[in-house]
Amino acid sequence: MSDQTLLGIVGSVSADSRTRTAVEVALDAAAAEHGVDTEILHLAEYDLDTADGRGIDNYEVDTAEALELIVEADAYVVGTPVYRGSYSGALKNLLDMVPRGQWQGDVAPFENAAVGLVATGATDHHFLAVDQELRPVFAFFGAHTVGGATYANGDQFDDGEITDTDLHDRLELLGEATIELSAAIDDADALGEIGPAI
């Protein structure tokens, strides 16, 4: 599995991000357990264009770099803060630029790829956003999401660090499970061919 790249996508525009901290725990565990390469795409560090329907080859600078990271990765851990019961607008904008092998470009990076999901919020009231918002958008791309996502609330952090041992352990498992799912997809016949529904 060591030839795989696991990309952490952090849908937060805050430089000091609990979401990034959570995603990094998952990435570090995947690297330690399975020897995969990891990279991080934190939207706070990129000046992205606004999605306007153009093809993937028509973006430049930060946007082109961000999309290239997505295209080149083999599996993903996607994290977002939850606002108004949904994933961040910055993440929505990024996903609107990712093609599905159709008119926006001939690549489909999320299709049949393994994706682990992470969400953070001030309280537990938003935990359903993972299954009601994030999982469906990756189903649209034809991705295989890890069955157990991870939600973290503000009380599980202190000074930007995770203080909840159960949360930390679950994030580590999520990272490891994402790579195991990716390997299962690679070794299977139907899992690697099913793609999006439409």
Question: Structural domain of residue 26, as residue ranges?
Answer: 5-169+179-187
**Residue among 78, 65, 62, 64 nearest 145 (CA):** 78
Q: Is residue 197 part of a domain?
A: no
Q: Is residue 49 part of a domain?
A: yes
Q: Is residue 22 part of a domain?
A: yes
Query: Token pair of 106, please?
Result: 């001939």
- The answer to whether residues 21 and 160 touch, using CB atoms and an 8 Å cutoff, is yes
pLDDT digits (tens, 9 = 90+) for 17-55: 999 999 999 999 999 999 999 999 999 999 999 999 999
pLDDT digits (tens, 9 = 90+) for 162-182: 999 999 999 999 999 999 999
Q: Is residue 192 part of a domain?
A: no
**Radius of gyration of the CA atoms of the chain, in A:** 16
Q: Cα(57)–Cα(133) distance, rounded to whole angstroms?
A: 28
Q: Is residue 174 part of a domain?
A: no
- The answer to whether residues 180 and 36 touch, using CB atoms and an 8 Å cutoff, is no
Structural domains of the chain, count: 1
pLDDT digits (tens, 9 = 90+) for 142-159: 999 999 889 999 999 999
Q: Is residue 60 part of a domain?
A: yes
CATH number (domain holding residue 33): 3.40.50.360
Query: Token pair of 39, please?
Result: 């990279």
Q: What is the pTM of this model?
A: 0.96
Q: Is residue 152 part of a domain?
A: yes
First CA to last CA distance, the chain: 30
**pLDDT range class, residue 197, cuts 50, 70, 90:** confident
**DSSP symbol at 102:** S
pLDDT digits (tens, 9 = 90+) for 61-84: 999 999 999 999 999 999 999 998
Q: Is residue 198 part of a domain?
A: no
